[in-house]
Amino acid sequence: MSKAMRRSFVRKLFPLPSVEIPEGYVLELPGRGSTYVTDTAGPDDAPTLLLLHDVGCTGLLTWFPAIPELSRHFRVVTLDLRWHGHGIQSDEFSLYDCADDVAALIRRLQLADVIVVGYSMGSIVAQRTWRQHPEVVAGLVLCATTDRFRTNPSEMAFFQGMGVSMAAVRGLARSRTARSAALSAARALELDQPGDLHDWALKEFRKTSPWAVAQAMAALGRHHSTPWLQRIDVPTSVVVTCQDKVISPERQRAIALRIPDASIHEVDGGHASCVLASAAFVPVLVEACLATAAATRLRRQQLS
């Protein structure tokens, strides 16, 4: 099969929505490092959505299909999480640090009435952001989410093995040479302008190294929010991906039932539906965000 035929096959197998990609910029978070941010304006006085991406992706790669529709109702901000894309480079990867980064970004941009929206890994970081910095979170939208990953023998074996492997080579993670090489490789991919949306998506995907993904997966295996989910006291919506083979719909619904008064919004799609089934996913996401926004307005009125 020729290169042109392979490209055509990939485009048919993975259709992408034709939308405009927002321009972004590098932002320094004082005392933490720099990350890549996009900031799309919404209506005047609209609340802000801060979108947190999936593992192995970037802010734009997870959320680009949804940003145009979301920005009709909200100001929409994305960032590259630590070790992903042009996210902060550090000695180690930690979900706790990611949540601190999110809070630092909210304060750096002086954002108010922030609804933190997370997809898969991003939903875990969103949970932790509320846990560590509840004062900056007005509401939550958790998509393709869970409270923990070690729920059966195969998951326990996988994440235990991943944790042991990453601990054994942690010294390399601290290597400035390794981190610089990964960052240089990501920047080199930007030298050639992509020919179309599929080319752009591939380049965006390649900005995060397999090494970084492995570190993030090991950290996800240690996540366990079950003991404190019932203490979440901000309006929350849970978007359930009903054909998900990575995080079962039952586990996603279960976490919604543990969060007081959380609303459930179901979409007929799998774990990658944010991009590969965006026509079905985006309207449900908008619905969930509007539901959380309405509940946050009511909560402010009751507290005032």
- Please check the confidence at residue 73 and state whether its pLDDT lies above 90: yes
Q: What is the mean pLDDT of residues 26-54?
A: 97
**8 Å CB contact between 58 and 207:** yes
- Say which residues have a Cβ less than 8 Å from residue 103's Cβ, sequence separation at least 6: 129, 132, 133, 136
H-helix or E-strand containing 236? strand 236-241
Question: How far is the C-alpha of 263 from the C-alpha of 258, rounded, in Å?
Answer: 11
| Residue extents of the structural domains in the chain | 3-303
Pick the CATH number of 3-303 from 3.40.50.1820, 3.40.50.1370, 1.20.120.1200, 3.40.50.300: 3.40.50.1820
Of the candidates 147, 118, 122, 130, the one whose C-alpha atom is nearest the C-alpha of residue 253 is: 147
Of the candidates 108, 67, 104, 103, the one whose C-alpha atom is nearest the C-alpha of residue 116 is: 103
DSSP string spanning 248-294? -HHHHHHHHHHSTT-EEEEES--TTHHHHTHHHHHHHHHHHHHHHHH
pLDDT of the residue at 202 = 87
- Please check the confidence at residue 45 and state whether its pLDDT lies above 60: yes
DSSP structural state of residue 121: H
Amino acid present at 93 = F
pLDDT of the residue at 196 = 78
Amino acid present at 128 = R
For the chain, give the number of residues. 304
Q: Strands 263-267 and 24-29, how do they pair?
A: unpaired
pLDDT of the residue at 182 = 47
pLDDT of the residue at 82 = 96
Q: What is the mean pLDDT of residues 113-124?
A: 97
In three-state secondary structure terms, 148 is strand
Mean pLDDT, the chain, as a whole number? Answer: 86
Reported for 229-233, long-range contacts at CB under 8 A and 24+ positions apart, including other chains, are 229/127, 229/147, 229/255, 229/258, 229/259, 230/258, 230/259, 230/260, 232/127, 232/130, 232/140, 232/259, 232/260, 232/262, 233/134, 233/260
| Residue linked to tokens 């991406």 | 53
Segment 11-28, tens digit of pLDDT: 565 668 778 899 999 999
Amino acid present at 23 = E
Question: How far is the C-alpha of 37 from the C-alpha of 59, rounded, in Å?
Answer: 8
Q: What is the mean pLDDT of residues 89-100?
A: 94
pLDDT of the residue at 14 = 64
Q: Which two tokens stand for residue 267?
A: 């979409």
- Beginning with the edge strand found earlier in the chain, give each strand of the sheet holding 75-79 in spatial order: 24-29, 33-40, 75-79, 48-52, 114-119, 139-143, 236-241, 263-267
pLDDT of the residue at 160 = 44
Q: What are phi and psi of 244, to 5 degrees?
A: -70, 130
Instruction: Measure Cα distances from 66 to 255, 264, 287 in Å.
Output: 24, 19, 12
Segment 100-114, tens digit of pLDDT: 999 999 999 999 999
Q: What is the pTM of this model?
A: 0.85
Segment 156-195, tens digit of pLDDT: 443 444 333 333 334 444 444 444 544 444 444 443 444 5
Please say whether the dihedral angle defined by the alpha carbons of residues 201, 264, 78 and 217, taken in this order, is positive or negative: negative
Question: How far is the C-alpha of 232 from the C-alpha of 52, rounded, in Å?
Answer: 18
Question: How far is the C-alpha of 274 from the C-alpha of 279, rounded, in Å?
Answer: 9
pLDDT of the residue at 3 = 56
Please say whether the dihedral angle defined by the alpha carbons of residues 107, 110, 114 and 119, taken in this order, is positive or negative: negative
